[in-house]
Structure 1
Amino acid sequence: MVNWRPVYDIEQRELESERRTKQLESEIEQLDIENRRLAELESRMDALLLNADSSSQTPPATGSN
């Protein structure tokens, strides 16, 4: 007599699905952290560029005759 439970396959698929769901949630959390870090860096870069633009003076125009 074969000791086969049809429910076993379903249980295994559910376990695999739960494992993948947890893995994806972890990856999403890591991406959220990375996105926040990149947004902060972008904000700093924008501030530096704005500061550099406002503090730099344009050289006087020289006329070549």
Structure 2
Amino acid sequence: MVGFNAVANGEMVFERAVEVLGTAERAAEWMGCKDSQLGVKPDDLVKTDDGTAQVLHCLRRLELGHPV
């Protein structure tokens, strides 16, 4: 069972991904694909607070144009 925090984290990260990636479609695709820096799907990581922090850091690097 996924806890409330995981659901809230997932929603917050998805909204941030839309801001960074430009559309909900691109954000959903990114969240569901294995990311090379993260090593897993962002969707899987947002189930924990540490994983959420990793995904947000990755999005920030993308936003700033840094290699990920």
TM-score by length of 1: 0.30
- Structure whose residues are more often helix by fraction: 1
TM-score by length of 2: 0.29
Give the number of the structure whose alpha-carbon radius of gyration is greater.
1
